[in-house]
């Protein structure tokens, strides 16, 4: 896979990571990749071809929209205030559509148990992950978002600064 640089994704990522959400911090990755195989990728994909990937759940676009509306209301309000009233969700779906043509995609979510979450760190509050895969274009867009509490920092847990 090859990372695809796309400026609107960078703008959305930067905006979401710089938000002041009070007692929590958001980590976001909205990224695009080309899935055109190299020789190494072909060998690896053949070896993994028969393994079950039950940790992904196929989704509809509406479930992605609902997740963004549910978990990012403060971000949506701040986006609208700084972007002339435009919707964060509309901006995200437009940017994703430009890269991958959403209506032609298979959409998957990854919602691991807290013990199995690869991005889980101390103080994590929630996380969600969506993957948009367009077979025809051979591209994947991933949107990974998680929130951590600022109160879980080492200084807070050890009582430093009291």
pLDDT tens-digit series, residues 51-82: 445 456 788 999 999 999 999 999 999 999 99
Helix axis angle for 88-100 and 73-82, nearest 10°, is 90
Q: Which pTM was predicted?
A: 0.79
CATH for 108: 3.40.1000.50
Number of domains in the chain: 1
Half-sphere exposure of 32 (CA within 13 A, CB side): 21
Question: Which domain range does residue 68 map to?
Answer: 2-158
Q: Reply yes or no on whether the pLDDT at 47 is more than 50.
A: yes
């Amino acid at each position: 896979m090859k990372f695809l640089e796309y400026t609107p994704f960078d703008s959305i990522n930067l905006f979401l990571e710089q938000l002041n959400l009070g007692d929590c911090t958001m980590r976001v990755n909205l990224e695009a990749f080309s899935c055109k195989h190299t020789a190494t990728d072909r060998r690896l994909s053949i070896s993994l071809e028969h393994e079950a990937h039950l940790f992904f759940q196929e989704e509809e676009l509406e479930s992605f929209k609902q997740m963004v509306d549910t978990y990012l209301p403060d971000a949506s309000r701040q986006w609208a205030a700084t972007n002339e009233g435009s919707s964060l969700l509309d901006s995200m779906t437009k940017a994703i559509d430009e890269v991958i043509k959403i209506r032609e995609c298979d959409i998957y979510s990854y919602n691991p148990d807290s013990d199995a979450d690869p991005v889980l760190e101390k103080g994590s509050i929630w996380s969600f992950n969506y993957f948009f895969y367009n077979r025809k274009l051979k591209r994947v867009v991933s949107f990974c978002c998680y929130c951590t509490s600022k109160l879980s920092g080492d200084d807070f847990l050890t009582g430093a600064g009291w």
